[in-house]
Every structure is written in structure tokens, then in C-alpha cells.
């Protein structure tokens, strides 16, 4: 069971500052990424075609934007760039590239000897016969968020996890964010848990608005919350980026008073309404998957939940936890007790692999004891086969 506590902070008097003519034009400018120190912004400009630009931020002001020279952009369309933390890999959408799977695919390029390499298609299963676009790579490089077109000509948000061999696993939908309408422009905060995105399907102020949700300790996502004014207006806001130091945020909007089309605006991050979402201190980790009658963790299915717990432990270095394993009542009670202990130990070891000190965790198994529901059918038995975490202060 999770307890969700949301506190909203509205600041209707905060100003939205247009970045000015050094960045914005009568075309469309879409904010994509920032350098980690906030000294440079990257954006896509659409004036008949899509091109990537950058602008140096000096004394709080954006200097005249210049096109990014990737060495191969003169004859092929690209946009929506996202850089790895070390700025040595760029992910982007390539439109109608030869050999692609659909009209738009996600590609990457690597910086080697100060030269960007040729685009590399991320291949199946990230790309498909439909269009994939607007990638966002996580700060740790292990997750890739992107947009995939749907059958109703809208788009939804998906993510894929990097496998040990460098390939990407089958994408999963971010179901809390997606609606039957359109979602776009996912941006995962450097904390790895806070996801910003644009949607026209949730309760909004008009057109597309920017929303935020948080990944909880059990791996699920909280209900999206509208950021409200001054980020959102009665017009459209479709991309949102936060600086790594948490001081500034940027949004692209077609609100009144700009240079035309979508312009980029900047805010003080502290002036916008960001929900604070906290988990209870006792919860069931529903997305920890084991092989049948085994203590071997399915690392692909369980990875996001384990990562979330490790992040929580890292951010709260003074707490300790008990990891408890449980089974249903099928089979021998002694075997079930042993299996539950081994599964709890497996989760503890997964945390140790993620840098959490062993003495901050207790691993216990309770077998078929303490069922949440009667073991009368397979559905109930599935509920009782679980791992729980309890915070010990």
C-alpha cells in the first residue's frame, strides 16, 4: 500500500522571460537540452526544415544562436537532441533516413577525437514501422524515454532500458502519463525519478500543458500533476527542460507576445508549482519478478523498482530497511520459508550491487505466513507472493 502526499506550490506572479531574438524567430523553437552547468542550451528550430542550434548563456543572457555542426547534418533532417551526461553521445530523431524502420527513427552519434561519428540507428525494438521521436536519455545512461506515434495519429511516451550487452530492451509505455490523446517531449530530471512531459489529455489549462509525475519506490508512477501558471497558459506548451542545478527551467510555448510560432521561455525553477510526493515507510514491491520457484531476479522487469529503492536509500543515508520475502501456501512450508529468505537476500544483494551498504539492510523471510488475502485461487496466491520493504529509523 502506498500513501501519496502531494503539496502544490503556485506562484502566479512569477515572470516568463522570452529568450529574445538571439534565440527565437518567427519559426518554431523547441528546447531540447542544457549543459550540466547551464552555460549552453540546445534547441531545434523549424523554419521549413528541422535543424539543431545552440546558444551560450552568459551573465544570464543567451548569445546569438549558432547551428550545431555534427558533420553530417547538411543533407538529412534531425531534431530533438538529448546528450549523455559526459556530452560524448547524442540521441536524436532522424526523419526519413535511408534504411530506417519508419518515417522517423531514433539514432545516436558518438564523439570520438572531437568528431561526431555517423548516425547509428538504435534498431528494433526501440524503433518500429511507426514513428519514434523526442528521445531523452537518463542521467545514468540506463534508460531512454521517447515518443511513439499511436494508431489515432497521436503519440504516447515509452521507455527502454539498456541491457548489459549495450542493446535496448522492449519499450514499455509510461501508463500513468499516457492518454488516448497526445503526449510528447518527455524529460527525465537528473534525479532519475521526476518525469516532465506535455499532454493534451490530462486536465489542462488549454491545448498542450506541461505535467509532472514521480516514480515511486515500488516502481510505479504517481498521477500526473499540471505545473500550472506561469509555465502553462491557455495556449500550447510542448517541451520542458530543467537545469541540473535546479535553478532554471525552460519551456517552448506559442503563447501571445512572442516572435511567432513556438518560442523558448525561461523561469526560476523555485517559482513554479512542483509537487512533493512521498512514499509511505512500509510498502509492497509489486514489480520484483523472480523465476518460477527460484530466487533469481528477472533483472529487466525488476530493474526500475530496484533502481528507485536504491535512489531512495542514497538520498536518505541515515535510514535502514527490512526486506521481507513471502510466498503463497503451495508446497512444503519449510521449502517456502527457505525460498522467501533467499528472495529477500536476492533483493538485498541487488541493492549492494547498486552501492547500498549491507549493514543498512535486514533480509528476512516469512514463507507462507502473513498472507494479505486468503490463498483460495491463483490470483490471490499471486498477491501473497511478494517482497515488502519497511523503513527502520
How many other CB atoms are there within 10 angstroms of residue 75's CB atom? 5
Q: How many domains does the chain have?
A: 2
Residues 224 and 256 in one domain: yes
State how far the Cα of 120 lies from the Cα of 108, in Å rounded to an integer: 5
322 and 220 fall within a common domain: no
Q: Answer yes or no: do 21 and 124 share one domain.
A: yes
Shared-domain flag, residues 318 and 274: no
Whether a cis peptide bond, with omega within 30° of 0, leads into 125 is: yes
CATH number at residue 166: 2.120.10.30
Q: Is 292 exposed, middle or buried (0-12, 13-18, 19+ CB in 10 A)?
A: exposed
Do 132 and 235 share a structural domain? yes
Residues 36 and 125 in one domain: yes
- My answer on whether 295 and 260 are in the same domain is no
Nearest C-alpha neighbor of 309 from the set 319, 294, 295: 319
Upstream peptide bond of 248 is cis (omega within 30 degrees of 0): no
The pLDDT, as a whole number, for residue 6 is 31
pLDDT in tens, 115-151: 999 999 999 999 999 999 999 999 889 999 999 998 7
The residue among 259, 278, 297 that closes a domain is 278
Contact 169, 123 (CB under 8 A): no
Domain boundary among 217, 252, 278: 278
Domain check: are 352 and 383 in the same one? yes
What's residue 74's pLDDT? Answer: 59
> Looking at residue 9, what is its pLDDT?
29
What is the full DSSP assignment across 284-343?
A: E-TT--B-TTS--B-HHHHHHHHHHHHHHHHH-TT-EEEEEEE--S-S-HHHHHHHHHHH
C-alpha distances (whole Å) from 259 to each of 22, 48, 262, 314 are 11, 16, 8, 44
Same domain for 126 and 258, yes or no, is yes
Are residue 291 and residue 247 in the same domain, yes or no? no
Q: Mark whether 156 and 168 lie in a shared domain.
A: yes
User: CB burial class (10 A; 0-12, 13-18, 19+) of residue 62?
Assistant: buried
Q: Give the integer Cα–Cα distance in Å for 77 and 44.
A: 11
Closest by CA position to 186, among listed 122, 97, 93, 101? 93
Q: Give every residue of the chain whose pLDDT is below 50, as ranges.
A: 1-13
**N-terminal to C-terminal alpha carbon distance within the chain:** 19
pLDDT at 2: 31
Do 53 and 181 share a domain, yes or no? yes
For position 315, which CATH number holds?
3.30.1330.60
CB atoms within 10 A of CB 161: 19
Q: How far apart are CA 97 and CA 105, in angstroms?
A: 8
Domain that holds residue 324: 282-392
At 263 the pLDDT is: 97
Residues in Cβ contact with 207 at an 8 Å cutoff, skipping those fewer than 6 apart? 200, 234, 235, 236, 237
d(CA 151, CA 305): 30
Task: Please report the pLDDT score of residue 246 as a whole number.
Answer: 82
pLDDT digits (tens, 9 = 90+) for 276-316: 666 666 777 777 878 778 898 888 878 888 888 888 888 77
- Which of 253, 278, 303 is the C-terminal boundary of a domain? 278
Amino acid at each position: 500500500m502506498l500513501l501519496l502526499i502531494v503539496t502544490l506550490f503556485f506562484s502566479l506572479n512569477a515572470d516568463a522571460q522570452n529568450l529574445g531574438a538571439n534565440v527565437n524567430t518567427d519559426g518554431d523553437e523547441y528546447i531540447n537540452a542544457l549543459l550540466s552547468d547551464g552555460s549552453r542550451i540546445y534547441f531545434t528550430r523549424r523554419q521549413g526544415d528541422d535543424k539543431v542550434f545552440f546558444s551560450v548563456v552568459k551573465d544570464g543572457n543567451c548569445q546569438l544562436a549558432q547551428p550545431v555542426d555534427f558533420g553530417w547534418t547538411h543533407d538529412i533532417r534531425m531534431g530533438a537532441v538529448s546528450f549523455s551526461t559526459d556530452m560524448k553521445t547524442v540521441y536524436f530523431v532522424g526523419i526519413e533516413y535511408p534504411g530506417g524502420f519508419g518515417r522517423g527513427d531514433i539514432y545516436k552519434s558518438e564523439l570520438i577525437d572531437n568528431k561526431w561519428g555517423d548516425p547509428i540507428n538504435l534498431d528494433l525494438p526501440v524503433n518500429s514501422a511507426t514513428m519514434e521521436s523526442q528521445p531523452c536519455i537518463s542521467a545514468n545512461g540506463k534508460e531512454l524515454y521517447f515518443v511513439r506515434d499511436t494508431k489515432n495519429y497521436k503519440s504516447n511516451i515509452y521507455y527502454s532500458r539498456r541491457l548489459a550487452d549495450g542493446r535496448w530492451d522492449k519499450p514499455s509505455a509510461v501508463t500513468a502519463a499516457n492518454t488516448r490523446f497526445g503526449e510528447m517531449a518527455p524529460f527525465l530530471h537528473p534525479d532519475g525519478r521526476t518525469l516532465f512531459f506535455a499532454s493534451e489529455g490530462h486536465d489542462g489549462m488549454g491545448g498542450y500543458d506541461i505535467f509532472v509525475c514521480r516514480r515511486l519506490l515500488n516502481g510505479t508512477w504517481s498521477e500526473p500533476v499540471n505545473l500550472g501558471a506561469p509555465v502553462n497558459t491557455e495556449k500550447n506548451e510542448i517541451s520542458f527542460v530543467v537545469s541540473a542545478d535546479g535553478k532554471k527551467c525552460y519551456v517552448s510555448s506559442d503563447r501571445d507576445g512572442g516572435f511567432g510560432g513556438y518560442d523558448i521561455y525561461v523561469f526560476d525553477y523555485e517559482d513554479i508549482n512542483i509537487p512533493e510526493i512521498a512514499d509511505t515507510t512500509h510498502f509492497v514491491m509489486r514489480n520484483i519478478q523472480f523465476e518460477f520457484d527460484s530466487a533469481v531476479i528477472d533483472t529487466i522487469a525488476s530493474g526500475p523498482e530496484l533502481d528507485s529503492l536504491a535512489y531512495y536509500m542514497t538520498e536518505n543515508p541515515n535510514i535502514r530497511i527490512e526486506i521481507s520475502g513471502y510466498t503463497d501456501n503451495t508446497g512444503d512450508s519449510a521449502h517456502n520459508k527457505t525460498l522467501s529468505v533467499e528472495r529477500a537476500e536476492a533483493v538485498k544483494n541487488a541493492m549492494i550491487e547498486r552501492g547500498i551498504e549491507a549493514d543498512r539492510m535486514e533480509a528476512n523471510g516469512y514463507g507462507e505466513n502473513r498472507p494479505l488475502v486468503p490463498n483460495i485461487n491463483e490470483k490471490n496466491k499471486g498477491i501473497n507472493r511478494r517482497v515488502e520493504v519497511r523503513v527502520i529509523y
